Amino acid sequence: MKNSLTCPKCHGQKIILVPGSRIEGSGGTAITTGFISMAKIDRYICESCGYNEEWMSSPEDIEKVKKRFGRA
């Protein structure tokens, strides 16, 4: 959905982007990776069916999450 801007569930093409934020309470999505460190997550939402995906676009943020939580 992030790259195609098409919903994989209903094939809708009206996608809403909710940008991530490292500021708690700002309405964006983030993962706490340390005492004052956060990794931001962008959310893509299909306007037609409500399906949503979350993506981390920063390689640095991905590395922070990997260090904090490890792999599954």
pLDDT in tens, 8-65: 999 999 999 998 876 665 556 778 888 888 888 999 999 999 999 999 989 999 999 9
- For the chain, give the DSSP string: -TTT-S-TTT----EEEE---SSTTSSSEEEE-SSS-EEEEEEEEETTT--EEEE---HHHHHHHHHHH---
Within-domain flag for 2: no
pTM: 0.78
Within-domain flag for 6: no
C-alpha distances in Å from residue 2, one per residue of 33, 43, 67, 69: 24, 9, 25, 24
Q: How many domains does the chain have?
A: 1
Range of the domain at 24: 15-69
Within-domain flag for 56: yes
Within-domain flag for 65: yes
